[in-house]
Amino acid sequence: MQAQRSRTPQWTQWCSRFRHFTASAQLLDISRRQQPSALALPQYNIKHLVTNQELYIKSCNVRRLPHVAKTVPLIAQLYAKANDLRKDRTKVYSQRKALQKQLHVAKDKAPILEHLGRLKDEGNRVDSEIEELESKIHEHMDQVPNLIPEECPVDEERVVKYICPPPSDLAEVVRNDDEFVQPIDFETKALADHVDIGIQLGIIDLMTASKVSGHAFYYLIGDGAVLEQALVQYALDKARRRGFKMMIPPSVVRREFAHACGFRPRDTNGEQQIYNITIAGGEPDSGDEGRLCLAGTAEIPLAAWGSDKSFDVKELPVKMVGVSRSYRAEAGSRGRDTRGIYRVHEFTKVELFSWVPESHEGTPEGIPTSAEMLEDLRELQEDIISGLGLHARILDMPGSDLGASAYRKYDIEVWMPGRQTWGEVTSASNCRDYQSRRLHTRVRLDGNVHTYAHTLNGTAMAVPRAIVAILENYYDPERKAVWIPHALRKYFEGRAWIERQ
């Protein structure tokens, strides 16, 4: 008894050290050191990548990311090595448990404790190697984009259809309160673009904004400001009729949420995309210092609203429409797009967002899949643009144009006479489980089975682009006024024209 008491402190010390040497404790420790405070580590589908390497390599190459494509086989190798080490760790645990059982009954505990010490060192070494491998796998997986479907065009967009075809060249020009019929000249640049028109009518002020805020900012004045609000309300009305619930999200988000949605600090051209926020006079250790950014689209805070949530499948689809100011740091770097308000740093945007299940399997009848919801978004966007009478085309976008999060994407482009080209006004993307695995958004099926939700986003109204299209397509040079589409007139007290203020 005396001998056992004399060894108790040593035994306690060893047991205390061994308590830390468990898989759960090691993984928890790794997680605590690596995860951002507001968002847990992503749950990448590494097994799917390992068994479908060629699909991922193709996706990377089509998106012109050959350096990422090269990491796909490396991820598979690192994953295999980590699994082998996990088997070694299991063997170490088994030996440790067997020795611990002997320790309770052994008279001479010293050799057993010594052996346990060696096993602890071996286990710590294995855990350290696994941690290092997992860190490398995480780093590489973070760069791997979504897959792309077989039907997705590779390099050139495919025109799905045209909206509101223009009158023929022989059509008579009609510009009265009820109608605005004017053939489109696809060959000759318009005499006035939206900048000339906006300045002439006194509804856009770029010069003062440049002085106050810098290049690519603008003031909307009088009917220009009314036009913005009219477009917002018009888009909201359309979305709400389709079952979207309105949300006003924040425009400031933590950077890890922007990153999880697929928005990177720099785009493929190396240009800065995101405005990071530094809190003037803030404490360096306040928690948010250096971690906040301005959202480039309401898609980010809308997607983040679903983080760490588990939707019951019977609730789906969950459909939100959010209005927010959006911020793009890269504006003003693409030639002709730098003129006017087509590409700006700050603008109002109405964004559509939805969560749906992965497939019909295990879901009640009538709940759409992400492929079906993408078509619903496109139809809503078509309804919004056609309601304004604007000549446009719907494009099935090529894989080379897709961002990291998008599996498939449609764009709608409107003809803009002042720019003498098509201008993108909406996009709709199916991101499948790319975002939900990073944001931990799940769907709860019958039997308490959980899967990752599929997320989709789409533009209901990018206000400056719509203003450009309306000013340039509905300008009457004789009257020196802009015709107001019928769908917007209730927001203008029934008026038919925007005239000089």
Residue 29 banded pLDDT, cuts 50, 70, 90: very low
pLDDT of residue 187: 87
Residues 27-52 have a mean pLDDT of 72
Give per-residue pLDDT as tens, 327-357.
Answer: 998 755 555 567 899 999 999 999 999 999 9
Q: Which residues have a Cβ under 8 Å from the Cβ of 357 and sit 6 or more positions away?
A: 313, 316, 363, 367, 369, 443, 445, 451, 453, 454
Mean pLDDT of the chain, nearest integer: 87
Residue 24 banded pLDDT, cuts 50, 70, 90: very low
Superfamily of domain 158-165+222-474: Bira Bifunctional Protein; Domain 2 (3.30.930.10)
Residues 293-321 have a mean pLDDT of 96
pLDDT of residue 126: 84
- Whether the per-residue pLDDT at 400 is higher than 60: the answer is yes
Phi then psi dihedrals of residue 178, to 5 deg:
-90, -35
Residue 95 banded pLDDT, cuts 50, 70, 90: confident
Any idea which of 9-13, 154-158, 224-228, 326-330 has the lowest mean pLDDT? 9-13
Q: Which residues have a Cβ under 8 Å from the Cβ of 486 and sit 6 or more positions away?
A: none
* Domain layout of the chain by residue ranges: 2-141, 158-165+222-474
- Whether the per-residue pLDDT at 156 is higher than 60: the answer is yes
Residue 76 banded pLDDT, cuts 50, 70, 90: very high
pLDDT of residue 336: 57
| Range picked from 285-299, 419-433, 445-459 for highest mean pLDDT | 419-433
Residue 31 banded pLDDT, cuts 50, 70, 90: very low
Any idea which of 70-84, 119-133, 424-438 has the lowest mean pLDDT? 119-133
pLDDT of residue 118: 80
Q: Which residues have a Cβ under 8 Å from the Cβ of 300 and sit 6 or more positions away?
A: 253, 257, 258, 261, 263
pLDDT of residue 20: 39
- Whether the per-residue pLDDT at 33 is higher than 50: the answer is no
Residue 493 tokens, joined: 């007290």
User: DSSP labels for 315-384?
Assistant: GPPEEEEEEEEEE-TT-S-SGGGGSTTSS-SEEEEEEEEEEE-SSSTTS-TT---HHHHHHHHHHHHHHH
- Whether the per-residue pLDDT at 120 is higher than 60: the answer is yes
Phi then psi dihedrals of residue 36, to 5 deg:
-65, 160
Give per-residue pLDDT as tens, 464-491.
Answer: 999 999 999 999 999 999 999 999 999 9
Identify the residue with better confidence: 435 or 333.
Answer: 435
Residue 161 banded pLDDT, cuts 50, 70, 90: very high
Residue 266 banded pLDDT, cuts 50, 70, 90: low
Identify the residue with better confidence: 1 or 178.
Answer: 178
Alpha-helical segments (H) within 440-478: 463-473
**Residues of the chain with pLDDT > 90: what percent?**
68
Residues 33-41 have a mean pLDDT of 65
| Range picked from 51-65, 113-127, 161-175 for highest mean pLDDT | 51-65
pLDDT of residue 35: 42
Phi then psi dihedrals of residue 393, to 5 deg:
-135, 145
Q: How many CB atoms lie within 10 A of CB 394?
A: 22
pLDDT of residue 331: 57
pLDDT of residue 377: 98
- Whether the per-residue pLDDT at 19 is higher than 60: the answer is no
Q: What is the pTM of this model?
A: 0.87
pLDDT of residue 113: 78
User: Distance between CA atoms of 484 and 494, rounded to whole angstroms?
Assistant: 9
Contact 479, 497 (CB under 8 A): yes
- Whether the per-residue pLDDT at 197 is higher than 60: the answer is yes
Can you tell me whether residue 95 is helix, strand or coil? helix
| Range picked from 81-95, 187-201, 422-436 for highest mean pLDDT | 422-436
Angle 49-431-335 from CA coordinates, rounded to 5°: 110
